[in-house]
């Protein structure tokens, strides 16, 4: 299993206005440390880092990860 943190990333394309991308902290507490608002058509490429171990997407968006493609609603 790959435990590295600095080279994995996901691509998020918003399919409606106001899609929220929320970064959760690495470690014992999973707090929200960062958020970003995407409008329709905007693309964000987000990396898992030493600070971010999880990413939460709210709203309709297309996501591309190394595991495949998925759509959020």
Of 34, 40, 60, 62, which one interacts with another protein (CB under 8 A)?
A: 34
Under rule CB under 8 A, residue 47 binds another protein: no
Cα separation of 47 and 44, whole Å?
10
DSSP-derived pairing of the beta strands 32-38 and 43-47:
unpaired
Under rule CB under 8 A, residue 51 binds another protein: no
Beta-bridge partners for 63: 12, 70
* Residue among 11 and 22 whose Cβ is closer to another protein: 22
For another protein, the binding residues (CB under 8 A) are 18, 20, 22, 29-37, 56, 58
């Amino acid at each position: 299993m790959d435990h590295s943190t600095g080279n994995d990333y996901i691509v998020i394309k918003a399919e409606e206005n106001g899609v929220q991308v929320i970064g959760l902290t690495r470690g014992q507490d999973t707090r929200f440390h960062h958020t970003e608002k995407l409008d329709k058509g905007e693309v964000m490429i987000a990396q898992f880092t030493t600070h971010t171990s999880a990413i939460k997407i709210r709203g309709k968006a297309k996501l591309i990860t190394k595991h495949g493609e998925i759509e959020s609603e």
